[in-house]
Structure 1
Amino acid sequence: MTTTSPLPARPDFSGEVAAHYAEYRRGYPPAVLDALVRTFGLDAHPGIGDLALDLGCGTGQLALPLAAHVRTVIGLDPEPDMLGLARAAADRVGVRNALWLLGTDADVPALAALLPGDCPFGVTVIGNALHWMRPDELFRALRPRTRAGGGVAVIANGAPVWAQDTDWSRALRGALEEHFGRPITASCGTGAAEREGYAAALTAAGYTDVRETVIAYEDALTPDQLLGAVYSAIPAPELPSHAERPAFAARLRAALPAPPAAGYPEHVRVSLLTGLA
């Protein structure tokens, strides 16, 4: 008999957390979309183009630009507020080929069963969300419903703001640990050990040409953007109330070094871990 290890409890990313996520989470540079198109040969033809699945789509940071490169993109997420903001963003930018569905990775087999046999996925993308899923089961479920030459892309969109190798990030982490009274170690699937585990899971599930593509660039965060990124990552029950927010923000700002004129510098390393079905 086989057993399945329990997943960590999914955090509550509703309400304000979802709004902060939509406003402050970094988007994906065009080179990421170019790499997806090149790796999987994506086709946006309106009649015969590809179907893409964005698992843990959040507020659409990846699904929306991906929509320009496929016939249809399905965004799947367990948080209704995230999906509502994704749909609103799609309306604002005129994306009409995106479908937003409430669900988790456990719903992938049922979703695939609803699709016609001649409508496989061209690509499934998972951006900074696989740590809430069961990769082994998910990759096995996706492979038979993915077209030849298509596959899976597990994307780490840079390290969290509290986990970077900079003085300001270490100071931020220390202030957060003091506030919450516990170590802040989450890498959200961006750590080397996690990426190696995902690569091994892709290989074990039968994917070929498993490889990592890295796209790196320099950016900078204003103090407000830095705080917004923090608020986007704190589950709703732990988010400081509006009455407490000014004191919380003041403690974080006091712990940080003075920002350079251009903002807090960060070296963003976007990792695309891909495997062909």
Structure 2
Amino acid sequence: MGLGFGGEVARFYQRYRRGYPPAVFDALVEAFGLTPEDTVVDLGCGTGQLTLPIAARVRAVVGVDPEPDMLELARQAARDQLFGNVGWLLGADTDVPALAALLGDGRVGAVTIGQALHWMDHDTLFPRLRPLLRPGGGVAVVTNGTPLWLQDTAWSRALRGCLEQWRGAELSQPCGTDAASQRRYADSLVAAGYDVEQRTVDYTDEIDLDDLVGGVYSALSRDALPAPEQRTEFATRIRDALHPETRFPESVRVTVLAGRRR
């Protein structure tokens, strides 16, 4: 069922994937009128970067992901942070009809999809989600900044060149963060019967070389991940490509594309 993001990749994902600022969760609550009585489904939840903070705002959250290792790490994080209102299901976007049968019609305040929609068939998914949603509820497509190697900075361009040389292939996949993808998702939501609005949250961050290399690892499948004996050379190549910089500033834009059920 998985997409090849288990094992070590899941651990890199948990450690290095950035979380979301509180303003993002304020935007989700406002967009769908979420209350402590609501249930939320986080589809493609990964290790819970979106799941757990939204759980503090609602009655319950169901995290769904096709990777068992991601879910195990998310489950442990929920235990460590004493969240007792989160459940975890092994599944994908294609399992939404079964999820609807489990939860019932009109019971869900929101379905969140955090930087995972590019792995899904959104044109099929959005209509399938509508029966789950209560009136005023909806679907939120949440992206958390442009990939490290596609940003408009000198260090990002140097990183992209280094990675393309290492992998022998061009890196151009924006993972749904680009304007064209956002328009495509918005049009698909409208066609499926949602009223759509876009909200953005901007913040700045700064990472070091360890964060940068770990962030790259978290985005690679197990097959593409450098073997353990190659990782010192891999990190050295990146450090040399980015020399003399050792700290890397980012301007991060979180986009919340909110589709409310009509």
Shorter-chain TM-score: what band? Answer: over 0.9
Q: Distance in 2 between matches of 1:113 and 1:120?
A: 11
Q: 1:144 aligns with which of 127, 131, 143?
A: 131
Indicate whether 1:71 and 2:59 are aligned: yes
Q: Which runs of 5+ in 1 are unaligned?
A: 1-8
Q: 1:198 aligns with which of 185, 194, 206?
A: 185
Corresponding residue for 1:90? 78
CA-based RMSD: 1.2
Corresponding residue for 1:272? 256
Cα distance, 1:127 vs structure 2:
0.6
Q: 1:187 aligns with which of 174, 187, 190?
A: 174
Cα distance, 1:266 vs structure 2:
0.4
Indicate whether 1:251 and 2:237 are aligned: yes
8 Å CA contact 2:100, 2:131 repeated in 1: no
What amino acid maps onto 1:189 in structure 2? G
Indicate whether 1:122 and 2:109 are aligned: yes
What TM-score, normalized by structure 2, do the two folds share? 0.97
Deviation track 1:69-122 (CA, whole Å, cap 9, x = no partner) reads: 1111000000000000000100111111000110000001111111244x6110
Q: Distance in 2 between matches of 1:113 and 1:12?
A: 28
Corresponding residue for 2:200? 214
Corresponding residue for 2:47? 59
Indicate whether 1:154 and 2:146 are aligned: no
Q: Distance in 1 between matches of 2:217 and 2:136?
A: 39
Q: 1:35 aligns with which of 14, 27, 30?
A: 27
- Bigger mean CA deviation after superposition, 133-142 or 10-19: 10-19
Percent identity (aligned): 55
Cα distance, 1:257 vs structure 2:
3.4
Q: Distance in 1 between matches of 2:118 and 2:93?
A: 11
8 Å CA contact 1:10, 1:132 repeated in 2: no
Q: Distance in 1 between matches of 2:159 and 2:113?
A: 27
What amino acid maps onto 1:194 in structure 2? S
What amino acid maps onto 1:271 in structure 2? T
- Bigger mean CA deviation after superposition, 28-37 or 232-241: 232-241
8 Å CA contact 2:113, 2:141 repeated in 1: yes
Corresponding residue for 1:50? 38
Q: 2:96 aligns with which of 85, 93, 108?
A: 108
What amino acid maps onto 1:86 in structure 2? A
What TM-score, normalized by structure 1, do the two folds share? 0.92
Q: Distance in 1 between matches of 2:123 and 2:42?
A: 17
Matched residue SS, 1:195: helix
Q: Distance in 2 between matches of 1:229 and 1:185?
A: 17
Q: Which runs of 5+ in 2 are unaligned?
A: none
Cα distance, 1:10 vs structure 2:
6.5
Q: Distance in 1 between matches of 2:34 and 2:236?
A: 47
Q: Distance in 2 between matches of 1:87 and 1:95?
A: 9
Matched residue SS, 1:150: strand
What amino acid maps onto 1:115 in structure 2? L
